[in-house]
A and B are shown apart, each in its own frame.
Chain A
Amino acid sequence: NAGVTQTPKFRILKIGQSMTLQCTQDMNHNYMYWYRQDPGMGLKLIYYSVGAGITDKGEVPNGYNVSRSTTEDFPLRLELAAPSQTSVYFCASTPAAAGETYEQYFGPGTRLTVT
């Protein structure tokens, strides 16, 4: 199993550009998450999904969009990049279901700079 993979590893965007951060997991996990981590800070939840076709907002969703058309993939879209979106982005996944113990598995992250 590759686990959780993310592409690209690094990206520099100009203000106003758009891009999609890719996330794929091969563990058949229902739950997937997108976080951002600013320097010296913990992780903040952007969006999450409890299964294909179901997504919901986290703590800091503004400026981002997600989709979940398959169990494996959970892309994060930035439509109009702003300097405030400079951060490291992590994708994670967990097995189903609420009430059970689930461990989060993380991808290696995407380091995004918006200038």
Chain B
Amino acid sequence: KQEVTQIPAALSVPEGENLVLNCSFTDSAIYNLQWFRQDPGKGLTSLLLIQSSQREQTSGRLNASLDKSSGRSTLYIAASQPGDSATYLCASAGTYKYIFGTGTRLKVLA
């Protein structure tokens, strides 16, 4: 059974710092790995999707990597801003289903 873990659960950084969020999964037989952002009281917004055959994806200040052999994905945020404050969730895609981690709550201090 796939289990997805995100560490740390919460993170507070000063504005301008580069930071890394971690996502681990136990079953490497995944189709893709997706990162989401969730603002308080809101739904999920897709940030990046990495296909199982890819190593990384980039969008603006965000870079996500995938290492299936070690069961890890990282989300790198460059030059963090207060507007990046949110909860970040990763989800692994198996046949038909996504399994979600519990998220990392990020606060970027001005």
Residues on A lying within 8 angstroms of B by beta carbon are 31, 33, 35, 40-45, 48, 50, 56, 58, 90, 92, 98-109, 111
Chain B residues positioned under 8 Å from A56 (CB to CB): 96
Total inter-chain residue pairs, C-beta < 8 Å? 61
Evaluate contact between B96 and A98: CB separation under 8 angstroms: yes
The distance from the CB of A47 to the nearest CB of chain B, in whole angstroms, is 11
- Size of B's binding interface in residues, CB under 8 A: 26
The distance from the CB of A97 to the nearest CB of chain B, in whole angstroms, is 10
Chain B residues positioned under 8 Å from A90 (CB to CB): 43-44
Evaluate contact between B96 and A42: CB separation under 8 angstroms: no
Is B32 among interface residues, defined by CB-CB distance under 8 A? Answer: yes
Evaluate contact between A42 and B32: CB separation under 8 angstroms: no
Do A42 and B4 contact each other (CB < 8 Å), given the known contacts A31-B96, A106-B44? yes
Q: Which residue of B lies closest to A105 (CB)?
A: B46
The distance from the CB of B72 to the nearest CB of chain A, in whole angstroms, is 17
Which residue of the partner chain, among A35, A40, A50, contacts B96 with CB atoms under 8 Å? A50
- Besides A56-B96, A98-B95, A108-B42, 8 other A-B contacts (C-beta < 8 A): A33-B98, A42-B102, A48-B96, A50-B96, A104-B34, A105-B46, A107-B43, A109-B42
Chain B residues positioned under 8 Å from A48 (CB to CB): 96-97
Per the bound structure, the CA–CA distance linking A105 and B43 in Å amounts to 10
Evaluate contact between A45 and B97: CB separation under 8 angstroms: yes
